[in-house]
Every structure is written in structure tokens, then in C-alpha cells.
Chains A and B, each alone.
Chain A
Amino acid sequence: MQRKKNIWPYLLLAPALLIVLTVVFIPAVNAVLMSFKNYDLRRPSSMGFVGLKNYMTVLADPLFWRSLWKTIVWVGLGVGLQFVFGFILALLLNKKFMGRGLVRSLSLIPWVTPGVLIGLMWRWIFDGNYGVLNDILMKLGLIGDKIPFLAQESTAFPAVIMTIIWQGIPFFALMLLAGLQGIPDELYDSADVDGANGVQKFFLVTIPSLKSVIFVTTLLRIIWVANSVDVIFNLTEGGPAYSTQTLSVYIFNKGNSLNLGYAATMSIMLTLGLSLVALRYLKSIFKNQGGKA
């Protein structure tokens, strides 16, 4: 018996598909096309197809490589420490104590605060003349003189990394807490019966049970942090002396300078880099889906 063709599913999908095409696919294709053009709005007369020239120029640009390295450090330390502190917070919030609900709610504040506001707020906290951080450190006797945190190379990048860590801890805590609450107590009971100590239970029960949560959460955060511009831009704009300029901030600065072809080229390269990271995630998803089928 031949099945009747039903167009309703396609019709119902069409609006969503149309929106995705309009706001994702077309701009993405446009960015790819732009990367092969000399697309500098300051010089409209010299716009045109230039083939791989932008890619060659980017690869020969020392600032690109420096920004790429900064991005790796930014993501590595930023996401890594967000995960560590987020995990600790999740474990604490998983314990029963008085006022736990309130603490859980308050711990979300950094996550719900807009990045622009975080940048501006921490800019004043780190301020070398009037910042509260200097004041606290001096009152505690930890430093003898004020530190211009954002104005010197040795402290500017650690300061922006610290800010992104502060912002991302609640996200990890929230996701891992949800995962922790889903681990059956029986697993820990069995481990107790087998005579496992706390550390063994953590590494042999907790971590394996949270594997997929950790994997997805870390991957998402890597992509978000690598693409993040708002926090750095509002803190330092990539300075001083490009010392806090990650690739996304460099792209933003080039885009702001209206050299859109160059900015698009670097965007494509960043996307390709992040796709390599995401590939493992996608493969894992497809593998799991295949297993269930």
C-alpha cells in the first residue's frame, strides 16, 4: 500500500526554516563570500573579488596569531577555572543546609548580569586609582601601593580572565547541580558497601555519572567564551598594547574599522577552529542517536 504524501509537516516546519535561513544561513553565506572580497567600506572604489588574498594576509598578520594565542589562553583558563569553581559550588549547593534556596538564587547573579554591565562594573573594581580591589588589598596589607590592574600587561589579561571566570561559575554550578541531583543514591550506597572512600566515590561514581553533562556544558562554554566580546571590550577594548585582544575582539575592532572583508575572513577562521572542537560533540550526539535507533 502506497503512503499518501502529506505536505502538512513541511508547511508547519516552513516558518522556522525560513527564519533560520534568513537570520543564520544567508548571513553566514554572505560572510563567507565577503571573506573572498576586498570589502572595506572606507574604500568603496576598490571593493571586489580578491580570492584568497584576505586569508593570506590574515595568516601573515602577527596580530592575528597573537590574538589566537590569547584566545586559547582565555578559553583554556577561563573555561577551565569556571568548571573547577563551578563544580565546587555545585557540590556545596548539593548539600543540605539552612538557606540553601537563597544561596542558590544569589549564586546566579553573575550569570544573569549582562556582559556589558559586568565589563563596566569590573573596570571600576580594577581601577588603578579609585578601584575597590586596590583598597581592599591595601587594607589587608597584601599590597603596599595601588596596582594599575588594567593598565599594565602583566595584570590586564589575568584581570579579564578573572572577570569571565566570575561570570561563568554559576552556569557550570547550575548544570552540574542538576546532574548531581540526577545521580541515584543507590550508586553511592553500593560504593559504601564496597568500602569506597570519599575520593573514590567522587572519581568512580560522581564524575562518570556527570560525564555527558560535563561534556556538553564545557563545549557550550568554550564556544561562548571564545566568541565573547562584551566583557573584554568594556574592560579594556583589547588594550593595553593589544595584551587583552582575543580573536573575537580583534574581529570586532576590524569590523568597527569597517574593514568587513578582513573581519569576515578572521570570523570564518575562528568558526572553523571552533567547529573542530564541536565536531567531537556532534559525532558523539550522532553516535548516541545511532545507538538508540
Chain B
Amino acid sequence: MKKVFMTAIAFAMLFTFAVSAADKPVTVTHWYWADNSKYSATMQQMAADFNATNGKNITVVAQEYPWDGGAYSETLFRAVMGGGGPDTSSFKLTSTPLFSANGLLANLDGYLAGWKDKDQIEASLYKTMSDASRTKSVYVMPWNTQVLYVYYRPSMFKKVGISVPKTYAEFLEACRKLTQDTNGDGKTDVYGFGMRGAKGGQEPWGSFIWARGGNFNDMTTPQAIAGMQDYVDLFKKGYAPPTATMDGFNEIIANFKSGKTAMTVHHIGSSAGMVDTFGDDVGAFPFPGDVGQWTSMGDTENVLLKSAKNKDAAFEWLAYLAAGKGQETWCTVTGNVPVSRNVKQLPFFQNNKFMKVSIEGAPVAGILPILDTTTEWISTIWPNTVAAALMGKVSPADAMKQLQAGLWRK
């Protein structure tokens, strides 16, 4: 009897040790935005997969918030400043000064040093991340990039007898030629260029400025003003829809898909939807340059908030997104350019025509200067100033002065 009793005690102790040795259950709250319901479902599935496979008792609760033309970043900021918010979140590099100035982001240097997949990501990307915080430390974890390029309809090009523009001048000429009155009623039915005048339009607009030899450091140069003049002319000459001053992402995509515009600028994230609509009758080319060339590199990262209680577990999730199965799943579904070397080598990415154009544009891809004014400039100053220029309320030169003052505070 005594033997049985002792054995039972031994088993009980063994069980207790086993339980205590296992990882304690940890919950990580993750915020993200999604461009459509498919992406929403994908993120939820990724969280579920991570929860099932991490083997460390980590449960990620993925919560979706609207992108809202960039207001997501402010929503996140307010939540975290108010003492709430998530443990990790999807993030835009432009928000780094705001978050780092208020000490809201966790320093990732220590985590990265011990991460086996660190070298899966280019060193230059880590540098871009640390530059954004104006420190030598990485506070933002790379996730994926999107290089903007021009979508076009090959059938429309064929109809007007033009080929894919190789130069900026050819691009402007294509905008003119593709603008057509298809039914002869004296009204324009197809516009050459789907211009984005609302929030987010600063990205394709930047290509015009750079093509003429301008840049964002000084937007008052004759070259930059010439780029702005081209942009305004496209609208005034009727090569862009009259709604362009207020057209945002949804409008430019809807206009392109409905055949109202022949070209528009966006990244690979829209390619799946374009192919669903047009099949083979949609192509892409890098935004051509002239004196200079530039295209916007849309970036999406993830951050670990300083307020996160379980930072180790949270980093596991970020690592899964950056180089694990999460990277492959998300980039495959969204078509975004992966940051992981291994994922880039997968056939899906090697054989995708939109990915090829993204990669072709990558050498001239850049981002807006990351300043503490950038978010306000993007959300309010740029759309209203450019709308004023398009409507002829201010000259392109004055508009550029206002944009310069808004971004650089001088």
C-alpha cells in the first residue's frame, strides 16, 4: 500500500514539474488593416496557423482596423498614448518619428541579434528602418514592400496604335492619345490617366516631379514646378477624369476596372483584382523617367509596442510575419513584394509579370522624407493644395511653395 502511495506521489510531482516546465499561455494582440475581405480572412487564417504551430503556447488575436486613407496610424497612436492599443501592429515607416518621439516603440536590436533568420532580410532594409527613427537602432520590423507602377490595358493601347511608353514624354503622349470619345457623342468616354487627387495621390504625383528633375527636398525648383505643371495640364486638358480632385484609391481602381481610365498608378496589391476583371488584358510598366526617375515604394512593416507585456512572444509573431510561413502566405495572397530572400525565390514570385515590373522599378523606388510633418502633409496639405492647383485656384509654382512650406515648415 505504501508503495502504491509513493508511486502516486511521484507521478503527481512529475506531472506538476511537466506542467510548470511548459510555456505559460501568452496572448499577443495584433492590429492590422486590410484592403479587402480576402486579405482580412488571410490575416485571420495566418494568426490561426501561427497559434496552432508555434509550439510555445502563444495565441495571437488579430484585430482589424480600417486603413482610412492613412488615419490608421493616428488611431493606433491615440490608442497607445491612451494606455491601450495592441502588443504588435502593422505600421507605416512614415509614422516612425511620431511613435519614436513619444517613446512608444520597443527597440528590436536585441531580438534581431538573436534571431536565426535575420539575414533573410537585406541589410539595407534594416538601415532604412533605423534611419526612419533617426537612431542607429531598429524599431520597425520589415514585412513587405509595394513598388508603384502603371497599370494599362493592352487592348486600348492597340486600338490607338501606341506601345508601352519608354520615356516620360511618351507617357504624357499616351495619356493624350488614350483619351477618347468612343461613341462620337462629343463627350469623353475614356480618360488616358486615372489621377488620384485625394489622400495617397502624392505617391504617383511624385513620379511627375522627379521625372522633370525635381525632388522632395526642394519642391520650389523650376524642375519640380515643371513636373507639377505636367500634372495640372493632364487634368486641365481633360486627360484625367473631372472627379480627379477627390478621387482616392477606390475611385481610381473603380474607374480603371470600369474602363473609364486607360492607365492608373498603383502597386501589385491590386493585381489580383485586375486580373480577375480583365484576364490577360491588363499589363504593367514602370513609371518612365526623363531627367530623373522615381516611383513610390509603399512599405508595410510591423512594430512591437513598448507597452507589450510579453515582448518575447510578440517578437515570435513578428518573426513569423517577416520570414516565416506568414511572409509567404501574406505576400502570395496580396502579391506584395516579400522581404525574405527565401520567399522571393518561390516560383510564384519569379513568374509573376507584375512582380517583375515591381522589381524593375525597385532601383528608383523611394519614400517621402520622413518628418514629423509628413502625416499631416499627406492627409490634409497635399490633397487640398494639389486640388487648388488642379482647379486653377493657385498656380503650380505657388502650390509647390505651399507644399514645400507644409512639409519642411519653412
A256 with B246: CB separation less than 8 A:
no
Q: Is B241 a contact of A257 with CB atoms below 8 Å?
A: no
Within 8 A of A (CB), among B211-246: 241-246
How many A residues have CB within 8 A of the partner chain? 29
Q: Is the CB of B329 closer than 8 A to any CB of chain A?
A: no
Instruction: Report whether B391 and A152 are in contact in the complex, using a CB–CB cutoff of 8 Å.
Output: yes
Residues of A close to B247: CB separation below 8 A: 151
B346 within 8 A of A: no
- In the bound complex, CA of A187 to CA of B129 (Å): 78
Most interface-central of B71, B260, B376, B385 (chain A CB within 10 A)? B376
Give Cα distance in the complex from A146 to B191, angstroms.
14
Docked pose: A258 CA to B98 CA in angstroms: 10
Q: Which residue of B lies closest to A236 (CB)?
A: B246
Number of interface residues of B (CB under 8 A): 38
Chain A at the B interface: SS class: loop
Q: Are A153 and B393 in contact (CB under 8 A)?
A: yes
B242 with A151: CB separation less than 8 A: yes
A182 at the interface (CB under 8 A from B): no
Whether B101 and A42, one on each chain, are in contact in the complex, defined by CB atoms closer than 8 angstroms, is: yes
- B260 with A257: CB separation less than 8 A: no
CA distance A153 to B242 in the complex (A): 12
Cβ–Cβ < 8 Å partners of A257 in chain B: 74, 375-376, 379-380
Contacts of A57 in B (CB 8 A): none
Interface centre among A43, A129, A153 (most CB of B within 10 A): A129
Whether a CB of chain B sits under 8 angstroms from the CB of A145 is: yes
Main SS of the interface on chain B?
helix
Return the chain A residue nearest B383 by Cβ: A239
Is the Cβ of A239 less than 8 Å from the Cβ of B393? no
A80 within 8 A of B: no
- List the B side residues contacting A146 at CB < 8 Å: 242
Contact, CB under 8 Å: A256 / B241: no
Q: Known contacts A241-B391, A241-B393; is A148 also within 8 Å of B243 by CB?
A: yes
Bound Cα distance A190, B245 (Å): 60
Evaluate contact between A41 and B77: CB separation under 8 angstroms.
yes
Q: Does B388 make an interface contact (CB < 8 A)?
A: yes
Give me the interface of A with B, judged by CB distance under 8 Å: 41-45, 127-130, 145-146, 148, 150-153, 236-242, 245, 253, 256-259
Could you give 25 example pairs across A and B, Cβ below 8 Å? A42-B372, A42-B375, A128-B242, A129-B241, A129-B254, A130-B258, A145-B187, A151-B245, A151-B246, A151-B247, A152-B391, A237-B198, A237-B383, A239-B383, A239-B387, A240-B197, A240-B246, A240-B388, A241-B388, A241-B391, A242-B384, A245-B384, A256-B74, A257-B380, A258-B77
What 7 pairs between A and B have smallest CB-CB spacing? A240-B387, A241-B388, A128-B243, A257-B376, A240-B245, A42-B372, A151-B246
